[in-house]
Each structure stands twice: as structure tokens, then as C-alpha cells.
A and B are shown apart, each in its own frame.
Chain A
Amino acid sequence: MILYLGKRLLLLGFTLLGLMTIMFVITNVAPGDPAKLMAGPNATRDMVETIRHEYGLDRPLVQQYFVYVGGLLRGDLGRSIVSTHPVSAELLRYFPATIELVFVAMGLGILVGVPFGMLSATHKDGWIDHVVRIFSVSGVALPAFWFGLLLQLFFAVRLEWLPVSGRLGITTLPPEPITQLLLLDSLLRGQWETFGEALRHVILPALVLSFPCLASILRVNRAEMLEVLQSDYITGARANGIAPLRIVAVHALKNAMLPTLSIIGLRFGWMLGSTVLVETVFDWPGIGLYAVSSALSSDFKPVMGVTLAIGLCFMLANFVVDLAYSWLDPRLRQP
């Protein structure tokens, strides 16, 4: 087991290095001069060179690469040419908002996807099954930005039930940070009004972000449940008089969850990448929005930093899924 974990961690390190190298090449060969953009439209050549020199952009590309790798090993991801702040500090600032959004979205996806997948499987070909299946198809088909704008128009403008965008009301001060997650921090601080406001703000973007994930979880869980419910041991359980709910929710679900867990792990990484669109529509101040505004300014260090961060999270998420797999399936633990 330890050997297995060690191999996986080593592979993770090499994969990150490869990702970083590819991103470095892409961001440096892409057209656009970040120094020129930072200097401003009327800047003279020497003004642009001043900035280029300050950020080391006048060095040979190979030298810039090794400087970046050296910095990465020290946790230094370079400096944003737009904000002038270290990228690592900015990632730490924006990451909690994205994690909070993704966790809420993932929670929605699991809490809705798994039970409805079970429901759909146990009522196969019934009206519930048909409705759920239509729902799951639309989940993967609807473009996130369009869905987000539609929800804003309906819930925020027409019904005025929920706010348009942002993470908190503009005059609401966030609670003193403990975890940097607004929902959790306001609960821990006992600030119920702030909690309610944070919840109202997260609902729409989390719904948009969770929808495709929810649809996938629902479909996979339904398919696995259908297969498992045909198993001999389930027939035996029924014959022994075990309550139907217990058969479905305990005995069948445990075996059906294995592929569902894989989907959850994959979807976690996908969600992190999808925050780019959702955070832009809802002005959610996370790393997705940070990446978009940086890319539009040709500010490539933040773009690389965000890509590495998301890549790392994706790999760690799948690593955790592998661990969960081996816990759920004792056969995987055997040598």
C-alpha cells in the first residue's frame, strides 16, 4: 500500500512538471506583449523596456524557464505584471472562494444526483425515471454561461429572490477569517445574517456549476444501481425479508458507488476548470475569474499559476478517489 502511494505521488510530481513546461511554452509563444500592455497605449519604447527588465522578460526564454522552475520549488510563482503582487499570494487570496463554490456545487451534485439516481433506478420506465433522465441530458447539454445568465434573469431580476452576482452584499463585511470559507466562517462566528447572505449569493453559481456534474452522477448511479439490483445477493436479501429501503440504500448503493466515486473525482477537476465561465458570469472572486482577467491582459504568470493549481487539485482529487476505491473494495487492498 505504501509502495503504491509512493509511486502515485512520484507520478504526480512528474505530471506537474510536464504541465508546467507545456504551459510555459504556450504562454511565451502566444502573441501579445504583457509589458506593452502594462506600460499603457501611449508608452514609449524605453518605458516598455523598463517594465520588461523589471519582470525579467528581457532574459532569454531558457533562462526564464529555469528561473521559474527554481522559483516554483521555493513556492514562488512569479509576479503578476498587472497587479504587481506575487502570484502565490493572489492564488491564496482567490482560492478559498473557488473551493467554497466547488464544494457547494459538488455537495449539490452528490446530494441530488445520488438519491435521484437511486429513485430513477427503482422506478425504471416510470414517469419519475423519464423526468430524471430528461433532466440529466439537459444537464450535460446546456452551456454554463447561458444557463447562468438565464438564472440571473429569472431569479435575480424577475423574481428578485436572489442577488445578481458577487459573494456578499457590498456593504456586508465578511466575518473574521478562520477557514477563509465565508459560509463556514460565518457559522463558526455565529453571524447568521452573514451566513444567510453568503448562502443566497452562492446558490445560483453553485447551481450552474453543479448541473453537469449532477447530471453525470445521476446517470452513472442510475446505470450502476440497475445492474446491482439484478444481482443474486440482492435477490437473496429480498428473500430474507430485509426492508426494501435498506436493500437499496445500504446493500446495493455501496457496490454501485464505486464507478460513481470515479465520476465524482473526475468531475471535481472539471468543476475547477469550469469556474472560469461561472465565476465570470457571477463575478465570483475566485481563481477562475483571476485566470480570465489575467489572460485578457496577457498576464501569463497568473495563468500558469492557476493552471498548475487546478492541475494539482485534479491530481490530488483522483488520488483521494483511488484511496477511497481501495477502502470500498477490499480486493484492491490485497497484494
Chain B
Amino acid sequence: MKRIPFLAWAALALALVLTTGMSSAGAFERQGDRKVIVFGGRQQVPVLDPHVRYDWSTRMMQQAVYDGLAKYVGTSATIEPWLAERWESSPDSKTWTFHLVKNAKFHNGDPVDAEAVRYSFERGLKLNKGVAWMLKDFLAPEGIKVLDANTVQFNLSKPYGPFISFVPWWYIVNPKQVKANEVDGDSGQKWLTENEAGSGPFKPKRWQQNVLYELEAVSDYWKGWPQGLQNRPAAIIYRIIREPAAQKAALQRGEVDIVEGLTPDDYDTIKAQKGIQIQDHLGMTTFGIKFNTAQGPTADINLRKAIAYAMDYDALVKVYNGAATLQQSPFPQAMRGYVPVPGIYRQDFAKAKEYLAKSKYPNGGIELEYLHVAGLEEARRIGLVLLDSLSKLNIKVDVKAEQWPNMVARGSKTETTAAMTSVYVTPVSTDPDAVAYQYHKNSWGQYFAMSHYDNPAVFDMIDKARAQAKWEDRAPLYAQIQKQIVADVPEVFGMIQNRRWAQRDYLKGFVFSPVRFTGEVDLYPLWIDAK
């Protein structure tokens, strides 16, 4: 028999090894007789502790592992009872009393009681990180009282109408577990970074930083499963895929069931493919080109109005291939108290030239810097739209990319803030104070306040509105705030881009909520409908 060369045997062995276990595309993962949902996202989850940090990916996982007294549910972002079955407030909105459900339990079997709620809010306030900013100016740890095992009361230092809108983001931890794992008085921070003490529908199973985070379903979750026990997934895996091209490839191959980071062009090309559908919803993320209203040429309101009237607003929607809606107000449409402001700026070169003539630069002849976040292609294209629009006024635009940390650093001081900075902002609640307060002087130094807007009359209205208990008293103030901000034109009010995800069509239960960030999805109701 002729000897087969060694290299041929080696090649055959390699081929066998490589082809072993190759799976067909379009298949979803399974564990036993239950399905596993795989979510592909760009951003890691560095810290699971709900009182230390939040961003879109982190909060998506926190929401799955922990519960709050209330929860934002559905497209209208209704605040629904969750750990609390009901609540009431005093007429002046200073005292809030929550009555807990009686069947909620932590993953280790301990009941979720009023003391756990008191401890969790106290912990969040004392650590002074993450969500603390939402309530720390109105609530002191001493103001949280346990009335009985299932009733907890919050006594605010001053009336705060938006209080309930922030409650859903404060998650409840098991104090016994946290205290048992404290190290050097750290309130359990080190342990809770990658461990959990929650009561939510999922609990961590595998935690591989920068690779994947697997959550296994809690089969006897106290609130039950909205998709039915038979359909609930075995687990959800959040897999890190950073590049849009890789996310698209993984979805097409069936390696993931839903992705969040595709480009507008990718969504258009992929939606026609068999087995794939696009979730496309009007969100609350506004885009604005913030002027430096404190220094430089853009401190001149007439110049700002000229730019606002010169901008090609239709092009903003085209940048997103039509998946965006122009703003009618500084507030997003889904925000409570939103009113469309009559006469909001649209392209009108006659008016642009009229205001330019009134400004200190009647013939243009200046160059303005436009900063956008490096890597955000849409923001860069918008810069080019601006460049083209302003060229007709003889104004040059220097379009520059900058890393986000550097942009935030520059925008924190008036002397270093660029003339124009593009910023996307997603409010954390549906209460209008979440947007209005961005225009308050107390917000100066933060990324959404890069315009350093300064109108004391507006500050007074904002302070007054947030202190009102009744919505009927707050609503007219917010209407006036919106109109005044538009009149002062601290920014070019751009558009609200649609929030989009691409998913396999067998994935069911997706519920959009405008109050969630970027790629954040409520994982709880998801399930796979396929054999």
C-alpha cells in the first residue's frame, strides 16, 4: 500500500477538528428544553452594584437582577407599581408612603421588606455615587422611616414634584447579604461589583468581563413571567461585540438574537433579509448643537439666531435615512409637559441674513469650531451639513472630532468650550424637570449644559416648577420655560433619532421604553417563539 505522507494525515486531522461542532446559522441557543436569548452589545458592564454606577448596559443588567419600588413599563413609560403595590404622597409632595407587596423575596429566599428598602436608599445616599444625584438634594437618610414590615415612608426636606419619576432607578438590595460581605467598611461595594443581592427575574451565572455576562432566569420569580412559564427563557447572555460590522455578521449568522449598535445604513440593508426585523421607535434622545453662549462669537444672540435659521434641518433627518423626527421644542415629544413651540427655527435664509446683519459679524468672515464625538459618524455628517449651511453666510466651520472624555472636559469651562458642540442627551425620567434642569445654572460643568445658558428668569421658573406638588401648577411653568429657551437659542435644536435594534423575528416580547438609554432593553418579557 502506498504510504500516505504525514502532512496529508495532519491536514485531515486538522479538517476534522475544525469541522467538529460547526453549527448551522439561524439557530438559537438552548439549555435543556429551554431557550437562551443572546443580546449583542458594544458596552461592557464593569460594575453591577446598583448604587455605584449606571450607564445603558449596566442598568440593563441591574434592571434584570434587581427590582425597584416602581418600574417604567411600556412605550408610554408609565410608572407601574412593582415592589410597592401602591403609594401616596402628602398634598405638598414632601411625604411619600410606599406599601410593599407581601410576596417579594430576594434570590436567597429572604423577604423584601421595608427595612431592605430603607437600607438600600440610605446606602445609595451615603455612597454618594451613581444614582445619588437624583434625590440627594431632597432626601436625607434620616428622612427614610420604616412604619411597619411592609410600609416605608420618605420625608423630603422640601417639596419635589419629580420624586416619583426617579424612584424606579433606585434598586433594592438585601441588607443581610451586603453587610455580610462588607470589607473595611466599604458597604459591600467590592462584593457587589460582580455579585448580587437582588430579587429580580434573573441572577448572574457567568460574569466574564469584556466577553459575556450570562443571567439565568429565576424560575419562581415572585412576580411571575409575563410570557408564561412555558415560554420563559432559561437564560439571557449579553455578549460584547464592539464593531457594528461584527454585530451585523453575528446577527446574520444567528450567533445573536438581537443587536443594538448598527449604523443607519446597516439597518437599511439588513431589514430586507429573511428572518430579521427592525425595532424602530421614536425615543427621547435629543440632538443639539450647543453654542458657547458665554464667550466668543456665539455669545452674540443674533449670530446664534442666524446660524439656527441657516441650518438645513431636513438634512438632519436624511443623515439618519429618515429614522429621526425634528424637535419642536427643547423637550422631546414623549416628555410630560411637552408643548410644540410655535416658530421654532427652520431653514430660512432671509431671516438668517437679517439676524446676521444685526450681529457683530454682519458679513460673516469668521470661523467657528464644531466638535463632535470621535467615532460617531452621524454627528460628523451633521457637522458637514452645518459647514455647508453656514458657508452661505460666509461663516466657516472647523469640524473636529474629539474623544468623549476630552469633549466633556472642554465643555465644563466657558473658556475652553467650543463655539459649537454636538451633544446627544437622553433624560433619565419622563418628568420634565429632567430636561428643564439641564438649562439651570446648577448644571453648568456637565455635558448637557455646555451652552452655559444664563437666564435667571428661567432658573426661577425651573426652581418653582420642581417645588410644586400639583401637575396643574407645574405644567404652565414648563410651557413657558420651553418657549423662553427657544427664544434665547442656546443651541440648534436638532432632531430626535429613532431608537433601533435589529433582531431575529423569532424573538418576542420586545417592549420599547423611551426612558431607557441607548441600547438598553427590558430583558424580563423577552422570549423565543420557535421550535
Contact = CB atoms under 8 A, between A and B. Distances in A.
A84 B252 contact: no
B101 to A, nearest CB: 30
Contact of A157 (B21, B249, B405): B249
Interface in A171-213: 171, 192-193, 195-197, 199-200
Contacts of B209: 83, 90, 93, 285
Interface stretch (A128-136, A268-276, A288-296, A306-314): A288-296
Contacts of A84: 46-47, 52, 189-190, 193
B446 A293 contact: no
A160 B27 CA distance: 13
Contacts of A93: 209
B129 interface: yes
A38 B208 contact: no
Contact of A38 (B22, B53, B132, B237): B53
B21 A165 contact: no
Contact of B253 (A164, A170, A197): A164
B409 interface: yes
Contact of B249 (A30, A153, A170): A153
Nearest to B252: A157
A281 B246 contact: yes
B246 A283 contact: yes
B451 to A, nearest CB: 15
Interface string A28-47: 00111110111111111111
Nearest to A168: B211
Nearest to B402: A31
B446 A163 contact: no
Interface string B395-428: 0000000011110111010000000000000001
A157 B253 contact: yes
Nearest to B442: A44
Contacts of B428: 42
Contacts of A34: 405
Contacts of A199: 17-18
A84 B129 CA distance: 13
B239 A166 contact: yes
Contacts of B242: 280, 283
A37 B405 contact: yes
Given A165-B241, A199-B18, A289-B210, A160 B410 contact: no
Contacts of B47: 82-84
Interface in B211-232: 211-212, 214
Chain A at the B interface: mostly helix, strand, loop or mixed? helix
Contact of A160 (B25, B29, B447): B25
Given A170-B237, A171-B29, A196-B21, A31 B46 contact: no
Contacts of A298: 403, 405
A42 B239 contact: no
B20 interface: yes
User: Which among A38, A149, A171, A281 has the highest number of chain B CB atoms within 10 Å?
Assistant: A171
A165 B250 contact: yes
B211 A51 contact: no
Interface in B15-62: 17-22, 25, 29, 31, 36, 38, 44, 46-47, 52-55
B154 interface: no
A121 to B, nearest CB: 21
A160 B20 CA distance: 14
Given A40-B53, A164-B250, A195-B17, A31 B409 contact: yes
A91 interface: no
A8 interface: no
Given A50-B129, A171-B36, A283 B408 contact: no
Contact of B445 (A45, A50, A171): A45
Contact of B406 (A32, A163, A195): A32
B54 A296 contact: no
A297 B405 CA distance: 7
B133 interface: yes
Interface string B134-175: 101000000000000000000000000000000000000000
User: Which among A39, A45, A164, A197 has the highest number of chain B CB atoms within 10 Å?
Assistant: A164
A281 B246 CA distance: 8
B409 A33 contact: yes
Contact of B193 (A40, A83, A157, A170): A83
B128 interface: yes
A171 B46 contact: no
Interface string B190-216: 100100000000000000111110100
A37 B408 contact: yes
Contact of B20 (A37, A38, A196, A285): A196
A293 B52 CA distance: 19
B292 to A, nearest CB: 17
Nearest to B247: A164
B193 A32 contact: no
A196 B18 contact: yes
B249 A281 contact: no
Nearest to B137: A44
A167 B211 contact: yes
B448 interface: yes
B210 A293 contact: yes
A210 B408 CA distance: 38
B17 A156 contact: no
A166 B210 CA distance: 10
A94 to B, nearest CB: 8
A164 B246 contact: yes
B130 interface: yes
B420 to A, nearest CB: 18
Nearest to B243: A281
B487 interface: no
Nearest to B136: A44
Contacts of B446: 41-43
B245 A152 contact: yes
B241 A149 contact: no
B444 to A, nearest CB: 10
A83 B132 CA distance: 19
B21 A197 contact: yes
A39 B52 CA distance: 8
A232 to B, nearest CB: 34
Sorted nearest first, the 10 A-B pairs with minimum C-beta distance are A32-B405, A298-B405, A196-B17, A83-B46, A31-B406, A196-B20, A164-B249, A157-B249, A31-B409, A285-B211
27 contacts: A31-B406, A32-B403, A32-B405, A34-B405, A37-B404, A37-B408, A41-B447, A42-B134, A47-B133, A50-B128, A51-B129, A82-B46, A83-B193, A83-B209, A84-B46, A84-B190, A152-B249, A157-B252, A164-B255, A165-B241, A192-B20, A195-B17, A196-B17, A199-B17, A280-B242, A290-B210, A297-B405
